Every structure is written in C-alpha cells, then in structure tokens.
Amino acid sequence: MSEQKLEGEDLFESIAQDLSTKGYSICSNAIPESVLKPLMQEAQSQLNCFNRAGIGRQSQHVIDDTIRSDKIRWISDDTEAGSAWLNWTGELKQYLNRRLFIGLNYFESHFAHYGVGNFYKKHRDAFVGQGNRVLSVVTYLNEGWLEEDGGQLVIYDDADKEIERVLPQSGTLVIFLSEEFPHEVLPAQRERFSITGWFRTGSRT
Ligand code: OGA
Ligand code: MN
C-alpha cells in the first residue's frame, strides 16, 4: 500500500509500476477530494434508485443471495459527480495505455451499497477467454472505517492464498487484473458504499 499521498502523474506512475510488477495496486487517499465528495453525496442521495446486484452478464444475469447481497447503480456522465469520476478514470486509462500498451478502451462503473450484514463471496471479475474486462477498479466512499466495521475486501492470488485485506476507507483505490485475482467482500457491520468499475478492451457489449 502506498502510504504517502500521491497525486496526478506520480500516482498514475505508481499504479503502472505496481501493475507491471505484481498485477495489482492499492493506494490510500488516491481520489482527489473534488471527485470524491460529489460521488459520496450522489451515492447517498440516490440510494432509493439502487437495484439488487446480479451475477453473470446479459442472458446469464441472475440474482443469487448466497453469492452477493449488495445493491448497485450504474454511473453515467449525466451528473457532475459522474462526469468528474469518468474524466478522472479517463486520464488514468490514457496514462496506463501509454505506459503499459494494454489497449484499454471502454470503462463502465457502478456504485454499490452494502447494508449491515451484506457481503460478496469470493469471485473473479472475468474469466480467461470470456468477456473483455481487463482491469478492475474499486474505490470507497466511507469515512472513518474501522477494522471492527468488517466489510474488508480480501484479495487472493491465483492459487487462492490470501494476499491483501483492504479497509473500505474513502479515497482508497484498488486496481487489479480482472482475470487473475479472486476476491471477496466480508460482511459489513455498518453501511458500506463502494464504486466498482472495469476497463475493457473491445466494445461496449
Ligand atoms: C465487485 C467487487 C469489491 C468491493 O463489485 O465486483 O468485487 O470492495 N467489489 O466493493
Ligand atoms: Mn469483484
């Protein structure tokens, strides 16, 4: 975890280095306040428009309470908060494409809300040869999160050995290769907001 506060290109460079050396990156205080604060407000004020999250894509989409119990809302650039977030992730995408030649194209992201007791069991965001999610991006909108609040993101390596545990503290940014790292969200003991997104290659569908 990068402990000192990195901004702009220094942050992007540190993410690029982490991705090329270990395939994932975790940075605290990574999202600028001017992007984070409006997202926090929007997530809270739109909570009544969140929907139960499913698993699988398109025709395979099902809601399964035993795997995940959070609710989500997709982010668009129709609001100022959404467009500031999409601008910021757009800059990150451009930097990573130039630096790592990974051909990231489309970005999609949603808010997620975990009520007390909600979780997301161990899963991968993409499977080799299926879909085109390349990089997973997760950030959080919760101030003053404590260990006893639960809701940690646990990241495993390809052999299912635990490698990281992340508190969902506002501004912390987690980025990882979507196909390579199984991960889970432990049951939250307080209301938990996150944003999850994916950089993809290819087109929208
Ligand atoms: C996801 C996910 C992690 C988190 O939405 O796919 O793994 O910490 N989220 O919210
Ligand atoms: Mn996931």
The tens digit of pLDDT for each residue in 142-188 reads 999 999 999 999 999 989 999 999 999 999 999 999 999 999 999 99
**Closest Cα to atom 5 of ligand 1:** 196
Quickly state the pLDDT bin for 205 (edges 50, 70, 90).
low
Ligand 2: centre distance to CA 25 (Å): 15
Residue 190 has pLDDT above 90, yes or no: yes
Q: Is 185 in the pocket of ligand 1 (CB under 6 A)?
A: yes
The share of the chain scoring above pLDDT 70, in percent, equals 93
CB-CB contact of 201 with 126 (8 Å): no
Report the alpha-carbon distance of residue 25 to residue 183 in Å, rounded: 14
Q: Is 24 in the pocket of ligand 1 (CB under 6 A)?
A: no
User: Which DSSP symbol is given to 147?
Assistant: G
CB-CB contact of 142 with 193 (8 Å): yes
Q: Which atom of ligand 1 is nearest to the CA of 72?
A: 5
Instruction: Write the pLDDT tens digit of every residue in 20-53.
Output: 999 999 999 999 999 999 999 999 999 999 998 7
- φ, ψ for residue 172 (rounded to 5)? -70, 135
pLDDT of residue 122: 96
pLDDT of residue 115: 96
Report the alpha-carbon distance of residue 8 to residue 145 in Å, rounded: 25
CB-CB contact of 205 with 132 (8 Å): no
Q: Domain spanning 8-200: which CATH class is it, in words?
A: mainly beta
pTM value?
0.93
